[in-house]
Amino acid sequence: MELGNTSHARDTSIVEHGMCSSPDTGLMRHLVGGASVPPARVFLCCRERHLLLIMLPMMHSSNPSGWRVFIAARAAMLMVAAVLLAPTGQTMQAAEPAEKTVAAMLGQIDWLSASGLSEAEMARRFLAIESQYLDRTAMAREALGTYGAKLTGTALADYVNAYRTYLADSFVFGVRKTGASTSRVLGSRKGPDGVAVVISRIRTGKKVRDTLWFFCADRERICDVEVDGARASARQRKLFTEILHERGLRALVRDLKSGVLVSAA
C-alpha cells in the first residue's frame, strides 16, 4: 500500500508547527551501515520534555530492501534517543545525590515530628539530624551577615552552639504548634554559583509549604533554606543584627540559648 501521500501531509504539518527538526541524514546513514536513508523520513520531536520518535516510511510494502532500511533506521533512532535522553554527568552528580540527601533528612524529620517523644528528646534527636545534614557554622555566619563572617575562636564557637539550640527549639516549637509533617522531594535545579537547590513540599496540618534547600559549594551539606520565597538566613539576620547592634553578641547568644527568639523569626 502506498503511504507517501498521507505521510507527507503529516510531516509537513509537524514541520510547519515547529515541532520537528530535519533529520541528520549523514548521521543516520552512518548508523545504519551506509544504507540509503531517504525512504524513511525521520524526525526527532520534543514536546513537554518527552522525546517522540516519528518514523514516516515512504515505500511500497512489497519492497524488502525498503523495509530493511526502515527497520535499521528505527533501531538507529532508538540509539540516538538513548543518547539524547541520558542526563549529563554534571547534572547527575550535582542534583541526584542532593535530592537523595534531602529526602533522607526529611524522612527522619517527619518521623521525629510524629514520634510523640518528649520535647527534650525531640530537641536532642533533631540536633543529631542537623549535625549530619546542615552546615551549622555556615548557616550561623550567614544569619549575621558581614559580622558573622568575621567571627573567630571562642566567640564563633559560643555563637554557633547557641544557634544550634535555637534551631532545635524552633523545630520543637513548630511540632507543638502545627503537628507532624509529611514531606516529599519535588526535584532540583542549579542555584547561584552552580550549587544544587532541592525543592520539597512539606505539609503540616492544613498548611502546605514549598521549601528550597540550598547546598554549600562542596555539595555535601545544606547552607540555607527558603520557605515560601523567604530565606531563613534573611529573616534571622534581620532579628539577630538588631539585637547585636543594640545589646551586643553576648546578649544575642543568651537569647538564642533561652528560646525567647523562637517565635520571633
Q: In one letter, which amino acid is 218?
A: D
Contact between 134 and 222 under an 8 Å Cβ cutoff? The reply is: yes
Cβ-based neighbour number of residue 243 at 10 Å: 18
CA 58 vs. chain centroid, Å, equals 44
Asked whether the predicted pLDDT for residue 31 surpasses 70, the reply is no
**Rounded average pLDDT over 196-221:** 93
Residue 46's contacts (CB-CB under 8 Å, 6 or more residues apart) are 19, 52
Grid cell locating 158 = 559560643
pLDDT tens figures, 238-262: 999 999 999 999 999 999 999 999 9
Q: In one letter, which amino acid is 29?
A: R
Structural domains of the chain in order of their starting residue, each with its CATH number? 4-85 (no CATH), 90-258 (3.10.450.710)
The three-class DSSP label of residue 227 is strand
Which DSSP helix (H) or strand (E) runs through 204? Answer: strand 196-204
pTM higher than 0.85, yes or no? no
pLDDT tens figures, 78-109: 443 443 344 433 334 445 899 999 999 999 99
pLDDT tens figures, 43-61: 333 333 333 333 334 434 4
